[in-house]
Amino acid sequence: MPNSTREQLATFEAKWVPRLNAPLRAAVGVDTTEERLMDAMTYSLLAGGKRLRPLLTMATLTTVGGVYEEQRDWRPIMALELLHTYSLIHDDLPAMDNDPLRRGEPTNHVKFGAGMATLAGDGLLTLAFQWLTATNLPGETQAALVQALARAAGPGGMVAGQARDIQFEHVDLPMGELRTLHREKTGALLHYAVQAGLILGRLPGKDWTPYLDFADAFGLAYQIYDDILDVVASPEELGKATHKDAGEAKNTYPGKLGLAGANQALIDTIAAGQAALAKVTAQDTRLLAAFFSYFDTKRVTKS
């Protein structure tokens, strides 16, 4: 990606990440009555994530000409970050991936114990849906957001993908089924991130398709790149253990296609997402396209 593209995204992040982060701890505290539980919830929530998902929502809202009002929109936008953090806490649990590190720090269950970590995830999950309706947005907008997030996060989305991930360890999945797994496990919440921006921006549904095609391409690219980094990056760089996928016999793009093949799949997926955005003629989609600069397609040749 050209430097100007990265700079555009960096400028957007510099503006919005501090603004989205600033109220988080206090807002969770208002809605949490037990101190140790709040500590466990905010421990993972404030552990330094990129805020990629709410940033995607903000970028989509900006692209379609929507107006952000903090008192009205902040909780509905950040609800997705609560839900994403719950998924990470539960994914790290001993019964799941049993990871000791997340973002370079001890995982929630290592810090607070498996029981409290489970409850912290439960608290963030349910609070996410409370935040979608703790607002003066129109009732139909609230309902649309709740329904869309429930579908993305539930047994037809992320949870289904996690179930496939567990069920098909040590099973060689065909590429089509691997794409389904990735679309549900990783892509569903990124799809929702863009969809939420379309809902909040009140873009007519007939105009959604290229944006959601972009979201699905971005979600797949994100997972392919994560698979690649598990092979080529260091634990210090990622803040978590690497080379786990092969050790656990998980289905990954490098495992099925080799590193070069996975990198080409990443390049092709990015191109598909860019082509989707090119179909949008009424708005300037360069900010959304800039999100592809997260992926270094030269990384494999550098390793």
Domains of the chain: 5-294 (1.10.600.10)
CA–CA–CA angle 81, 104, 234 (5° rounding): 115
The dihedral built from the CA positions of residue 165, 168, 171 and 174, taken in this order, carries a sign that is negative
Q: What is the mean pLDDT of each run of 10 residues along the chain (303 residues)?
A: 79 96 96 97 93 98 97 97 97 93 92 98 98 96 98 97 90 91 95 98 97 98 95 75 63 92 97 98 96 91 56
Confidence at residue 71, expressed as pLDDT on a 0 to 100 scale? 94
Q: Which residue has the tokens 């993305």?
A: 152
Confidence at residue 2, expressed as pLDDT on a 0 to 100 scale? 46
Confidence at residue 104, expressed as pLDDT on a 0 to 100 scale? 85
CA–CA–CA angle 113, 96, 153 (5° rounding): 100
Q: What is the DSSP letter of 204?
A: -
Helices (H), 154-208: 158-167, 175-182, 188-200
Confidence at residue 246, expressed as pLDDT on a 0 to 100 scale? 57
One DSSP character per residue, 11-59 reads HHHHHHHHHHHTTHHHHHHHT---HHHHHHHHHHHTS----HHHHHHHH
CB neighbour class for 184 (10 Å; exposed up to 12, middle 13-18, buried from 19): buried
CB neighbour class for 26 (10 Å; exposed up to 12, middle 13-18, buried from 19): exposed
Collapse the DSSP code of 106 into the 3-class scheme (helix H, G, I; strand E, B; otherwise coil) and give the result.
Answer: strand
Confidence at residue 186, expressed as pLDDT on a 0 to 100 scale? 94
CB 129 within 8 A of CB 152: no
106 forms beta bridges with 101
